[in-house]
Structure 1
Amino acid sequence: MEFYEETVEETSIYKGNVTEYTVQKVKLPNGELAQREIVRHAGAAAIIPFTEDGRLILVKQYRKAIESESIEIPAGLKDADDESGLNTAKRELEEETGYKARQWDFVTSFYSTPGFTDEFLEIYEASDLYLVDDPLPQDEDENVEMIIATYDEAWAFYEKGLLRDSKTVFALFYWKMKKQMTTE
């Protein structure tokens, strides 16, 4: 079976600062027509920042979409100046935490939810951190609180339902894998 859908027609129904919402009419492999609702996104980068003593820097913020506080790894959207996810990651780490890192390692990348969006997320590990005297300011519409958590504290946030977004759940399992690899 051929897995391809030909776009017959596409209509942009809303273009915001972060996303664009489109409706597509597509032709399925069997010749039938169907509708797809797609959220276009410029992409983002996330950071798994480890302190010298092996703790993880997280940020707590309110997420309107889920009407709740959320504890997450630092992350942010690519903007017009960022051609690479690494540049985005460096900027976001400084803006959200006041830290920079001397060591950056690419971890992985993935589509966050390809059933309805083309958002592509790149994840980097940051280490050898240091505080910046005059860090980049947070975005005007952003209110975040930094949390520096031990492995057990981070998992407790997860178990309490405070840490549930996909990138941060990934980061926890990545951390678990790293710990297991060092004990074997």
Structure 2
Amino acid sequence: MDEQSRQGIADVAEEWEVRAGGTPFQGKVTGVRSEEVRMPDGSWARRDYQTHPGSVSVLALDDEQRVLVLRQYRHPVRQRLWELPAGLLDVPGENPWHAAQRELYEEAYCKAGTWRILADYYTSPGGTDEALRMFLATDLAPAEGERYAAQGEEQEIEVAWVPVPELIRLIQAGKLHNPTLVTGTLAVHAALTGPDGLDALRPADSPWPARPFEA
């Protein structure tokens, strides 16, 4: 692939014509949107999808290249999954970096001296508009102040530190299933082994068109 072709590999914004739309269900955080969308052949097709405020997650990497992972119960899949610290952007316009710092403190009682963006992605673009920004947190230390009072599923969170190569082995063996953990593990491995290392990653305050935020 030549340089011109490589520069053309990028997602682009586009919006097809919508004839009718409604929100038959709206929950506390997410809802269901139903729309009729015009197809390329001129026909109309109904598309139902989950509306979502967006999310952040944190891959915390220590000096031994171990990743902080949490295990908690996820009711829709009836499993206790190993995951990365993560949370909702349920405050309109909230700075995702600030939200990520909060989630690392609340779920792991941890703080980081250096923050970068590891990946931006849509969690399941065929069924939801959820956009997720994943941060890489390094130069780690215990948090200060009182511990966060966990609620719901978070009351039984388990914590572990797992080397990146071991996480990759477990992913390839079909032992880990959380998409954010899978994405983050492969992304940090690519960054660590790339020619520019972690310096190739974007600054933590980089723009995010999918979920614009205040500086």
1:164 aligns with 2:177: yes
Q: Percent identity?
A: 26
Match of 1:66 in 2: 77
1:147 aligns with 2:186: no
1:180 aligns with 2:193: yes
| Unmatched runs of 5 consecutive residues or more in structure 2 | 1-13, 198-215
Q: Work out which of the residue numbers 31, 49, 52 in structure 1 matches 2:42.
A: 31
- CA distance, structure 1, for counterparts of residue 131 and residue 67 of structure 2: 23
Which whole-Å deviations, capped at 9, do the CAs of 1:118-169 have from their partners, x for residues lacking one?
Answer: 1000011001111124355255223221111122432344245342222211
- 2:194 match: secondary structure: helix
- 2:80 match: secondary structure: strand
Give the ranges of 4+ consecutive aligned residues of structure 1 lying more than 4 Å apart after TM superposition: none
Match of 2:59 in 1: 48
1:85 aligns with 2:96: yes
The structure carrying a bigger strand percent of its residues is: 1
TM-score (norm 2): 0.76
1:97 aligns with 2:97: no
- CA distance, structure 2, for counterparts of residue 73 and residue 28 of structure 1: 38
Q: In angstroms, what is the RMSD of aligned CA positions?
A: 2.3
**Number of residues of Structure 1 aligned to a counterpart in Structure 2:** 182
- Asked whether the equivalents of residues 94 and 135 of structure 1 are also in contact (C-alpha less than 8 Å), the reply is no
Please tell me the residue identity of whatever aligns with 2:17: E
Match of 1:106 in 2: 117
- 2:87 match: secondary structure: strand
- CA distance, structure 1, for counterparts of residue 139 and residue 107 of structure 2: 17
TM-score (norm 1): 0.87
- Tell me whether 76-85 or 33-42 shows the greater mean CA deviation: 76-85
- CA distance, structure 1, for counterparts of residue 19 and residue 119 of structure 2: 33
- CA distance, structure 2, for counterparts of residue 162 and residue 140 of structure 1: 27
- CA distance, structure 1, for counterparts of residue 76 and residue 166 of structure 2: 25
